[in-house]
Each structure stands twice: as structure tokens, then as C-alpha cells.
Structure 1
Amino acid sequence: MEQLKRIKVAQIIGNSTCGGVPSFVMNYFRNIDREKVDFYFYTYGPSELDAEILQLGGKILHMPDVRNIFKSIPFLKKSFSHYKFDIVHSHMTTLSLSPLFAAILSKIKIRICHAHSTTNRKEGTYIIKNLLKHFSKPFASNLAGCSHLSMNWLFGKKKGASSVLIPNSIDLSLFLKNPLRSIELKKNLKIEKNFVIGNIGRLEIQKNHLFLIDCFLKTLETLPNAVLVLVGKGKQEDLIRERILSYNIADKVIFLPEISDIVRYYEIFDIFWLPSLYEGLPLVGVEAQAMNLPCLFSETISKEADLTGNTIFLPINNPSIWAEATLMIAREKPTYDNLPTLKAKGYDIKDSAPKLLDYYNSLLSNGKNPR
């Protein structure tokens, strides 16, 4: 019997350090039928995910920074033409111009622009992002995103309404708390008797860690046994550490490295904070809800992120409100059973991965999807 030709998809990721976009693509890659599709990961350099990508049969190609169009477009055109991709799926949001234009030059019919985030006026790149977003859409044959907010922002409300929602799904089977493992890690960190506030994310302006530290300082006034666990790395790490030292709370804050088995960290949290300036639909928010954690999100995050009805949205101009909400949760100790709800809403990767393959097949069958 003749073997069916695999769909060849270029996944344009860029920065491949652990974070929302690489985790999103990897969740789908781990669970999609890899006998029917090949993923080629275009990144800026080596990452902790490389070994797993290769083990699963993926390919890795390092590309120039897409912000340098004079280097990235010729490189990508040559690479795309060489590999003869069926689909180019760009996860670069406002920076999708280079890969999508290169795909046009390479005569690739299916070119997906995927919206993963938005922006905020407090961000230094706010103006340029609002300019750049207009240059990605024209070169895409198809539009997709992780939330209606991100799609409406990147593509406009008219195009956003007709774009395809590809959920930030996760492997729900992994999010079953292991009490023994949790106790062991807490013991190793010497926080067995503490109330643990957790945050996972890149230490960048977008994630608003300086405000988070202010909230934690305020929380300690009424919850002195609280500790803060920060997971991630980024350009703001020195500034964050300086603020922690200036508040004399270094003994209350723990920095942990990123790991692939991220569930181990969620297991030790008592509450999850996400005071971001902006998000698309945060993958860590889905994960925290899957672990049945009480979640405090900033009001700037789309209400779509509350998948379970248990999330509290708070302003990011008043640390006292975050402290009060945290104290209330520490006292009430709410319990949830979110996994059935997340599965029903389509956030189980076991269900979503086959749908992504169906989406790719439908695009190839139609030549392109009308926008």
C-alpha cells in the first residue's frame, strides 16, 4: 500500500526559550499524528526543547532575527524553496511580515498568521507593534489565533471574527497533583509550612513583575508566612532582584529555573498570580486552572482566560487589592475540580491536536481558506 505523503509545515517560532509560543507548538507536536505531518521548527538558536524535538522526529532550523528583513527574508525564501513546504505557520504575531512574505516569494499557498498576544500602552514597543500589525495580515492566506481578543487586535474585528481559533490546549492527564512529590519539593525548598504564591513567565516588561513584587510586599503585611516563587528568566531579572533587595524580602522570594515538567512547580503553589500588562490567552493560565489553583489575573487579560469561572480579575494599579484577595483565598482555601470543564471547552490537547491536523488538511484541500 502506498504511503501517504506527510504534510510539511514550517513552524516559525523565533525565540525558542521556554514560554507560551514554544510550549503551544510543542503541546501540539507531541500529540499530533506525526505519521501524517512533519514539523520544521524555525528558531533563533538552541533551546532546552531541541533534544525532544529531534527525538520526536522534528527538524530544527536556525534563522536570522525577523526584524532584520534584509537577512531574514532571503534566508527564509531560500530555505522554504529548498524544503518545499505545504504550509508556513507563523507564530510571530506582529513580526510575521518576513516569514509570510518569504513564503509568497517561495510560492507557498498556505500561509497562516497566528495571533498569540496583544500589547499595552505601558510597553516600550507599543507604538511600533501597532504599526507592524498592519503589515503581517496582507501576506497571510489564513488567519488564526489563541483568543478572540488577540485576533481582533491583530487582524481587526471584521477579519478577527472570521479567523480560526486554535486553543492553547494542554495535556490534561498530566495535571493530577502528586502529594508526595509536592511535599518533597516543598521540603527541599524549605517552604513546607508556607503559603506559596506562584508565577511562571518570562522576566520581561510584559509580565509586570515589578508590580508583582509590590503586591507581594503588601501581602506580607497580613500574610507573613507567604513566599513567592518565580519561574522564568529574562531581561528584567536584575531589576526584579534589585527591587526585592531594596524591600529586604530576599529570604521570601525563590527563583526557580524553567523545566519541561512544569507540573512539578504548579503542585507546590497555593495560588497563582498573573499581573501581566497584556496577554493573548495565557497558556500558564490554562495550566494553573488545570491544577485547580485559585488564580488572580490582571484586568488587562481577556475574560476569555477564565475558562472555569473561578478566576479573579484585578486592576494593576493597587497592590492592596491583590493582597486582600490573596488573604481571602488563604483563609477560605477554596477547592476546585476544573479538568472536566477544561475538557468540555476544548482545552484537552488529545482532542485539539487531531483538529489542527484536520485544519491543515482542509486548507490544502481548498487551496486556501477565504478570509
Structure 2
Amino acid sequence: MHKVFQVVQHLRPGGLENMVLDIQQFSLFNDNTWVISLEGDKESALRHWPKLKAVEDRLIFLNKQEGLSLGLLIKLKQFFEREQPDVVHTHHVGPLLYAGFAARLAGVKAIIHTEHDAWHLAARKRRMLQKLALKLARPIVVADGSAVAQSLQLNLGLEQVKTIHNGIDTNRFCPGSKAEARQKLSLPQNVRLVGCSGRMEAVKNHEMLIGAIGYLDEDIHLVLAGDGSCMPQLQYRTLVEGLGHRVHFLGHTDDMPVFYQALDLFCLPSLFEGFPLAPLEAQACNIPAIVTDVGCCKDTLCPISGRLLENHHAKDAANAIADMLNSRLEANPRQFITRHFDVRTMAKAYDDLCHLELHGQAALVEDSK
């Protein structure tokens, strides 16, 4: 069985981090897969994200401090030489620079790097850093969506980028009782409920969504799941605009299937994204979705039931929301998600890539028989 180390910058609630945990859970090598977090410590991570407790024996925290650290590179090289992993799989540029290069120096045979978004490559400094990291680590490069792959090829001159779409656990994210879900979350029953989940940071653009609610009928409410630095100012805005009774802040929510089951419509208003998981999760619960046309968001939409926002204007978003809520659902978005974005398909694609790198095409074909 292959020994695999996935490496992330930090382990805090987020789409990338959830995806890494899903790969660990659903991989054929799951009992032999560890996750290394460059930043933070285990005690704090477990306290802020209880989900981690299920796999805490396979989590490693290096408590990296701000700034460049030669000592961390040396520590990782020595760690990989001692542990002798078959595969090191990095996510984003920081882990690629440290763990990817350390794995190359330690003689690890298979080094895989997944890029989850590409909007940061618009900055010349970030492009130069990414090029350096790729040159030092020489990994197999994977993009989580076609737009990310195209950006990597265009901005970094990469010729070979493999695309493996993110996936979710469609057994966990499934339809449920709307009334029961609202009761569990203490949400009003006799309203039409638009929901959004994600970190409350400026890039997620919750402010635009709150502005859109102000244009809509009184029986349309907004519920936000997630926490972050922007929450106080968003709460203040709802009060100033007289929307306090129509905008519901849940904070960090562990039972996300129940959150989606409570909705009539899901909306992701982000300014930048890679390949987001939230629209997949909502649609797997058979909730139609609206997303902004950034990153790979449009790839996540059911082509019949979904809708793409081509700008970030609150009034246009309000019109789209009203149209969706007043329209009869003509398709089953869950079927689209189960067909294309199940986590088991994603995990198998990564397993196959690991196996191919370690044993070649002939062994992969033999194992599939």
C-alpha cells in the first residue's frame, strides 16, 4: 500500500481543506495517508474545527511562523528521508515550495501538486514564485478545473496540466426535509430562503448579496453559514439597512447538509474562486444554484437548473434571484452532481495518478482488470 503525505498551508475550515480530508478518507490508501499542515498546532486546530478529531492521529502540524524559513525546508527533507513516503501531494504554492522541494531533495519518487485557483497569478511576484517552486519540485501538476488549467498554461508556460475535478460525498449531501432543517437551525418556516456558505472575507462578496436582498420582496430572506473577519461589518450593514430580521447569520456550521436542505436557492457571489465545493454540495441536496462567473464556477452548475451571474451588481443579482425563486424547477440538479462530481471519482483519479507515477501504465491497466 502506498504511503502518502498531503501538505497544506493550514487546516482551517475551507473548501481546499475539506477536499484534502475527503481525498484522505476515500482513497484506497486512506489508512496510510497523512496530512501535514505547515502552519498552526494540533490543539488549536482541533478546538476550532472538530471535524479533524476523526483523523487526528494522521495529522501533523509544523507551526510555521510568518516569513521564509530555511529551517522548515531542512526539517521537511529530514522528515521525508526518515518516513520514506511513496507520494507527496502538495496544495497551493507555499506547500509546493517547501514540501515539494524537500520531497525532491529527499528522493521521493512521486510528487503531485494540485492548484486550486489561478487568480493570484495575475501578480508578477506570485508568478515568479510559482515558477521557482515548480522548477525546484518538478511535480506532476493537476488543476481542479479547466479555467485553472488554462491559466496555468498561459501564465506559467506549462505544457502538461492534468485536470481532476473536485468532488463531494453525495451520500452525505442529499435531499432532506426543509421544515425539519429549518427547525434545527432556528430559521423561519414561511419564507423563501436564499443561502450562501463560505468564509466571511471580502473576496466572498457577501456584501453584494446582502444588498440584493434589499431589492427583493419581504418574504425573501438570506441565511449565511460561515465565519470570518468581515462578519461584524456585515452584521452592522444589515442593521443600518433595516434588514436585520431578514438576514440570518449562523456562524460556523458543522452540519452543512442540513444547512443546504433548509434553502430554496443557493447563491455564491464570490469575486474570485477556483473550483468551489459549495455549489456542488447545495445541488447534491437538490437545491438550485446561482454563481458568479469567476474561476471555474460555471463548471459546477447544472446546465438546466443553474444560473450564472455575469457581474457583481446587487440589483442584477436580485433580479436573478427573483427569477429563480419564481420559476418551476425544470431539472434535478442532484443527478448532475452525482453523475459528474462524486468524491469517489475524484479520489480514484488521484489514486490512479499516484499508481501511474509509481508503477507505470502497464501496472495501472493490470490493477483495473
Regarding TM over 0.5, the answer is: yes
Q: Secondary structure at the match of 1:227?
A: strand
* Shift of residue 337, structure 1, vs aligned partner: 1.6
Q: Secondary structure at the match of 1:277?
A: coil
Tell me, yes or no, if the aligned pair for 1:289 and 1:308 is still in contact at 8 Å: no
Residue identity in the other structure for 1:336? A
Give the aligned partner of residue 72 of structure 2.
72
1:54-73 deviation digits (Å, cap 9, x = unpaired): 3xx63333341585333432
Give the aligned partner of residue 149 of structure 1.
147
Give the aligned partner of residue 239 of structure 2.
245
Residue identity in the other structure for 1:163? V
What is the alpha-carbon distance in structure 2 between the residues aligned to residue 304 and residue 157 of structure 1? Answer: 21
* Shift of residue 293, structure 1, vs aligned partner: 1.8
Q: Does 1:298 align with 2:299?
A: no
Q: Secondary structure at the match of 2:3?
A: strand
* Shift of residue 193, structure 1, vs aligned partner: 0.7
Flag the 1:15–1:86 CA change in 2: closer, same or farther, 3 A: same
What is the alpha-carbon distance in structure 1 between the residues aligned to residue 77 and residue 151 of structure 2? Answer: 28
Flag the 1:59–1:272 CA change in 2: closer, same or farther, 3 A: same
* Shift of residue 352, structure 1, vs aligned partner: 3.1
- Map 1:318-333 to 2 at 5 A: 318-333=313-328
Q: Secondary structure at the match of 1:171?
A: coil
What is the alpha-carbon distance in structure 1 between the residues aligned to residue 348 and residue 125 of structure 2? Answer: 36
| TM score, norm. by length of structure 1 | 0.85
Residue identity in the other structure for 1:140? R
Give the aligned partner of residue 367 of structure 2.
none
Tell me, yes or no, if the aligned pair for 2:4 and 2:29 is still in contact at 8 Å: no
Tell me, yes or no, if the aligned pair for 2:220 and 2:246 is still in contact at 8 Å: yes
Give the aligned partner of residue 55 of structure 2.
53
Q: Does 1:19 align with 2:17?
A: no
Give the aligned partner of residue 163 of structure 1.
161
Tell me, yes or no, if the aligned pair for 1:146 and 1:167 is still in contact at 8 Å: yes
Tell me, yes or no, if the aligned pair for 1:146 and 1:165 is still in contact at 8 Å: yes
Flag the 1:168–1:66 CA change in 2: closer, same or farther, 3 A: farther
What is the alpha-carbon distance in structure 2 between the residues aligned to residue 170 and residue 36 of structure 1? Answer: 20
Tell me, yes or no, if the aligned pair for 1:50 and 1:60 is still in contact at 8 Å: no
* Shift of residue 169, structure 1, vs aligned partner: 0.9
- Map 1:307-322 to 2 at 5 A: 307-322=302-317
Give the aligned partner of residue 365 of structure 2.
none
Give the aligned partner of residue 362 of structure 1.
356
- Map 1:166-181 to 2 at 5 A: 166-179=164-177
Give the aligned partner of residue 91 of structure 1.
91
Flag the 1:160–1:170 CA change in 2: closer, same or farther, 3 A: farther
Greater Cα offset, 347-356 or 196-205: 347-356
How many corresponding residue pairs? 351
| TM score, norm. by length of structure 2 | 0.85
* Shift of residue 128, structure 1, vs aligned partner: 4.3
Q: Secondary structure at the match of 1:189?
A: coil
Residue identity in the other structure for 2:115? A
Identity over aligned residues, as a percent? 22
Greater Cα offset, 32-41 or 84-93: 32-41
What is the alpha-carbon distance in structure 2 between the residues aligned to residue 197 and residue 14 of structure 1? Answer: 32
Q: Does 1:209 align with 2:206?
A: yes
Residue identity in the other structure for 1:60? I
Residue identity in the other structure for 2:200? L
Unaligned ranges ≥5, structure 1: 1-5
Of 2, 26, 29, the match for 1:7: 2
Flag the 1:65–1:115 CA change in 2: closer, same or farther, 3 A: farther
* Shift of residue 294, structure 1, vs aligned partner: 2.0
Flag the 1:143–1:269 CA change in 2: closer, same or farther, 3 A: same
Flag the 1:318–1:160 CA change in 2: closer, same or farther, 3 A: same
Residue identity in the other structure for 2:310? P
Tell me, yes or no, if the aligned pair for 1:95 and 1:132 is still in contact at 8 Å: no
RMSD: 2.7
Greater Cα offset, 191-200 or 356-365: 356-365
Residue identity in the other structure for 1:69? S
What is the alpha-carbon distance in structure 2 between the residues aligned to residue 227 and residue 67 of structure 1? Answer: 43
What is the alpha-carbon distance in structure 2 between the residues aligned to residue 310 and residue 160 of structure 1? Answer: 35
Unaligned ranges ≥5, structure 2: 362-369
Give the aligned partner of residue 350 of structure 1.
344
* Shift of residue 161, structure 1, vs aligned partner: 6.2
Of 251, 259, 283, the match for 1:257: 251
